[in-house]
Amino acid sequence: MELKDTAYIPLYLDYSTNNTELEDCKRSCLSTCSCKAAQFRFSDPANTMGNCLLLNQVFSLVNNDGALNKTTLFIKVQNSCNLQSSPLSEKKQKRVVTIVGSTIGASFGLLFMVLTCLAFVSRRRKGLEEAEEEEFLDHVPGMPTRFSFEELTVMTENFSKKLGEGGFGSVFEGTMSDDTKIAVKHLQGFGNVKKSFLAEVATIGSIQHVNLVRLVGFCAEKSHRLLVYEYMANVSLDKWIFRRKQEQFLTWDVRKKIISDIAKGLAYLHEDCNNKIIRLDIKPHNILLDHDFNAKVSDFGLSKLVGKDESKIVTAMRGTPGYLAPEWLNSVITEKVDVYSFGVVVLEIICGRKNLDRLQDEDDMHLLSLFKRKAKETQLLEMVDKNCEDMQLHREEAVEMMRIAAWCLQSDYTKRPSMSLVVKVLQGLVAAETDLDYSFPYPPMTRRDAEANQERELAVVGISLPVPSKLSGPR
């Protein structure tokens, strides 16, 4: 078979015969048994004479059109007219088919065995990791009760009474065998779910404090991850302070006690645990109220444990816009980020509104901006919740509480008080700082900015935060 302007790779070969004709090159290959192909390279302008190379190996083909020296390639093939079917050739073909089939079958069989072994090793490794994880949970001191998934399914009536959506799953109402109500958080999804589960269990499993939501138990069975909390009858704090139309408002004494309860819970986390615990996401949605309106800090999935000797930690940004301290921008934080968030929550409790409220006039949408302006105008009394008559009767006391909030909101975190100092101030044991800077770091927002921020309010880096709360259990 003749192929013009075609050559074998490599292009530059050592031609064995020089100054010969094209047909002589072709006949030389046909007469040589070992020759598989002949490559002829023209060496004169008339393309009549050239160099001949006989090849006994098969190389890759390349188009040589346009090259300085044209080439023609002859490939030796069997003449189709000489092909005769014979028993011998048929037998040979069958043998080839058998060999090829056996080779392919063996290859697939080997591949299947390798994949099976890899799957087995992967499952075994996963099983060992789960066993190590569960063994770790079993040996954590003071761990709460461990429930089976079947037990929790019965307690929650097959998870039929949904209380709301949490950051990593749904929360369901349940009842234990002794008629004790519980809130069961069923963690779902991937990514941080496992990490969050271990963080919550390891952090609050052995912690007992009246102002922290108690973890009753947990479930770590196969892929199931559930947390069982004490049931909080009066839902989360945001339900009581952000609703404009409601028959019952929290009185000043109740609000003052809630502020004190939050401060005590945070002071315990910061200073009285074996390891300092920074809550990282203090907001009304995460403050739950029991039947007697005792406030408890909940949901430690975002907590960061720090050794007592560590003054600062570096972590990814966590929390909710509006409650984040300015030092988050540097990613180096201390427990003072909780103090800042506490200051924002105190203002919201006293004013009965969100720190970012789109229903307000544009100048008043941002609570900290309004706080700064009213402090400068000495009109803080006007900020006290106007929807509650009892709050209006205690406006002077409420303003004093605002000054404690301002102390907690100082831009320089070293000038903020510790939570234990806040507790002492609330108890009347020490006086609050009076030399305060009201130049808070958050500038006023336009209505368009506020609307855009509202869409992002429940989503921050690495966190999927709850939809508007509907739950009586922990978030």
**Helical axes 419-426 vs 395-408, angle rounded to 10°:** 160
Confidence tier at 9 by pLDDT (50, 70, 90): low
Residue at 393: amino acid letter: L
Is 76 assigned a ligand-binding role in the annotation?
Answer: no
CATH architecture assignment, domain 2-75: 3-Layer(bba) Sandwich (3.50)
- Average pLDDT estimate for 221-235: 88
- pLDDT for residue 15 is more than 90: no
Instruction: Look at residue 461 in the predicted model and tell me its pLDDT.
Output: 31
Cα separation, 343 vs 441, in Å, equals: 13
Domain boundaries, the chain: 2-75, 145-230, 235-451
Q: Tell me, what's the pLDDT at 61?
A: 78
- 281 as an active site residue: the answer is yes
Q: Note whether 149 and 221 are within 8 A (CB).
A: yes
The pair of three-digit structure tokens given for residue 11, joined into one six-digit string: 């292009």
Confidence at 311, pLDDT banded by 50, 70, 90: low
Lowest mean pLDDT among 63-67, 175-179, 391-395, 465-469: 465-469
Question: What is the spatial distance between Cα 341 and Cα 147, in angstroms, rounded to a whole number?
Answer: 34
The burial of 79, by beta-carbon neighbours within 10 Å (0-12 exposed, 13-18 middle, 19 or more buried), is given as: exposed
| pTM over the 0.85 mark | no
State the average pLDDT over residues 29-36. 87
Of the residues 238, 281, 338, 385, only one is catalytic, namely 281
DSSP three-state, residue 230: strand
Higher pLDDT among residues 82 and 168, named by residue? 168
Burial class (CB in 10 A: 0-12, 13-18, 19+), 254: middle
Average pLDDT over residues 148-164: 93
Distance (Å, rounded) from C-alpha 231 to C-alpha 226? 15
Question: What's the CATH architecture for 145-230?
Answer: 2-Layer Sandwich (3.30)
The reply to whether omega before 141 is within 30° of 0 (cis) is no
Q: Three-class SS of residue 35?
A: coil
- The amino acid present at 68, given as its one-letter code, is L
Written out in words, the top-level CATH class of the domain with range 235-451 is: mainly alpha
Q: What is the pLDDT of residues 245-293, one digit of tens each?
A: 667 889 999 999 999 999 999 999 999 887 778 888 899 988 999 999 9
